[in-house]
Amino acid sequence: MSKTSTMLTAFAVGLLASTAAIAGDVRIMWYSDGVEGEVLKDLLARFMKDNPGINVVLDNVAYGVVREQLPVQLEAGDGPDIARVTNLKALSQHWLDLRPLVADAAYWDKNFGGQADWMRPDGSNQISGFMTQITLTGGFANKTLFDQAGVSLPPKDATWDDWAKAAKEVAQSQQVPFPMALDRSGHRLTGPNLSYGSNYIGADGKPAPLDEGAKNFITKFVGWVADGTMSKDVWVSAAGSTYRAGADDFINGQLVYYYSGSWQVPNFSTKIGSNFDWVATGSPCGSANCSGMPGGAGLVAIKYTKNPKDVAQVMDYLTREDIVKEFSERTLFLPAHKGLLEKGLDFKTDDEQAKAALNTFVASTSSLSDVAQKLPGWFWSDAFYGALVTRVSQAAAGELKLDEAFSRIDADIAAKVKDSGVK
């Protein structure tokens, strides 16, 4: 009897000890495009020093894990306590409402309120998290190649056609494999679609059929892939909605013009260095406007956490103005913090090209179309993007005619709406 009691007591003590260890743990699932993981680790080490009762565990994972595995974990009522995600709206039912938990909800509303709707369920005033960076899609040109070819860079209000013509001329002169590339992503394709007057959102708030604006740019784009103006390696090289970036080709000097986004600036600054000169160009114009697409990654609290108060404390720390300032200046990310944006930042880099590029992106925010501002907080964005990538790449590969691709895009989106069960 005494042996059994001893064993039970030992088991109970063990159990208590293990739960006590879990009580102060806050796990963050994080992915990095550049050096931000290292910077965050540094900032969290300071937080833990000041808050010894909270142990923050930073799990650095690949972006694919966040995109493909996190949603499954969340559906299972599992997952980390905090996660850095880009799929903010579609998964918003899994985010924790930090409003009653944070020290000063008004501070959050004032400084991060602009993007709060991107990451909360429609119709709520929930505080789910904050944007670790605000991004904007836009182009980059290899200035050295332009200079060597004797072709001048198209002006600020140049159209996609102007850029295609100039990039082609440079590529031919400099023997570069591809004049242009655009990331294999529905989000990236959306910027130019909007510039040609597209509006994805129907009158009822659900996806509208593909309109003339989108069809016009997609027709141009597929033609450019076919005639070699756009890199085939990026769009034709995969099936489905798989993401592919053209950044490596640009870094290696194999591309004249690359349409991606502001998150590439630190990447280019580190990897291109002094190999060649490059400039950010903003978004080329279409027939309607010169819009890029805003977006970014948000750090959100997960509602299945066992330690909501600790999570809120970590989030309060990471949204402090001085912390956001340090994080943004060291990572070269555009912050979401309104107060900080008004005061300005001093990016920690000696690279004048990177500084100029960041300023170009900040200036480009003024040319965003109304639809572009709405899309990050629109529930059906991902359904639209997925169908665009899948079908446009099939058209680019010559598997589908353009008309077939357009009707397939509409059918795919309609099927997604039906499958979701949302009325």
Partner 1 sequence: MKADIPGKPGFNFGDAAMVPVRFAMELVDPPLRWLQRTAGLGGMATFFLLPNMLIFGIFVLLPFFINFAYSMTGGAALFLPDRNFVGADQYARLFDCSNYLDPNSCAEDTFWTAVGNTGWFVLLQVTLMIGVSLVTALILNRDLRARSFWRAVFFFPVLLSPVVVGLIWKWILQRQGLLNFGLYGLGFEPHAWLNDRNWSFAAAVGVSIWAHMGFYTLILLAGLQAIPKDLYEAAEMDGTKPTRVFLRITLPLLAPNLLVVIVLVLIRAVQIFDEVYVLTGGGPGTSTLFLTQYIYETGFAAQLRNPGLAAAASILMGAVLVVLTLLQLSLGRSSEKKGDRK
CA triplet 261, 263, 264: central angle to 5 degrees? 75
Q: Compute the least distance from the CB of residue 135 to partner 1, in Å.
A: 18
Q: Which is nearer to partner 1, 90 or 323 (CB)?
A: 90
CA triplet 212, 419, 293: central angle to 5 degrees? 40
DSSP assignments along 283-330, one per residue: PPB-SS-----EEEEEEEEBTT-S-HHHHHHHHHHHTSHHHHHHHHHH
Distance CA 393, CA 388 (A): 8
DSSP assignments along 152-173, one per residue: PPP-TT-BHHHHHHHHHHHHHH
Question: 32 — alpha (psi -120 to 50), left (phi > 0) or beta?
Answer: beta
Q: Which is nearer to partner 1, 182 or 354 (CB)?
A: 182
Q: Which is nearer to partner 1, 269 or 381 (CB)?
A: 381
198, 213 in Cβ contact below 8 A?
A: yes
Q: Compute the least distance from the CB of residue 167 to partner 1, in Å.
A: 18
Q: Which is nearer to partner 1, 78 or 157 (CB)?
A: 78
Q: Which is nearer to partner 1, 59 or 404 (CB)?
A: 404
What would the two tokens of residue 337 be? 């913090």
Distance of CA 348 to the CA centre of its chain: 22
Q: Which is nearer to partner 1, 121 or 177 (CB)?
A: 177
96, 311 in Cβ contact below 8 A?
A: yes
Q: Which is nearer to partner 1, 16 or 411 (CB)?
A: 411
Q: Compute the least distance from the CB of residue 381 to partner 1, in Å.
A: 9
Residues that bind partner 1 (CB under 8 A): 67-68, 71-72, 75-76, 87, 90, 177, 232-233, 236-242, 244, 252, 254, 382-383, 385-386, 390, 393-394, 396-400, 404, 408, 411, 416, 419-421
Q: Compute the least distance from the CB of residue 405 to partner 1, in Å.
A: 11
Q: Which is nearer to partner 1, 56 or 375 (CB)?
A: 375
139, 283 in Cβ contact below 8 A?
A: yes
Distance of CA 359 to the CA centre of its chain: 19
284, 173 in Cβ contact below 8 A?
A: no
What would the two tokens of residue 411 be? 């059918």
HSE-up (13 A, CA, CB side) for residue 24: 9
Distance CA 165, CA 242 (A): 29
Q: Which is nearer to partner 1, 81 or 382 (CB)?
A: 382
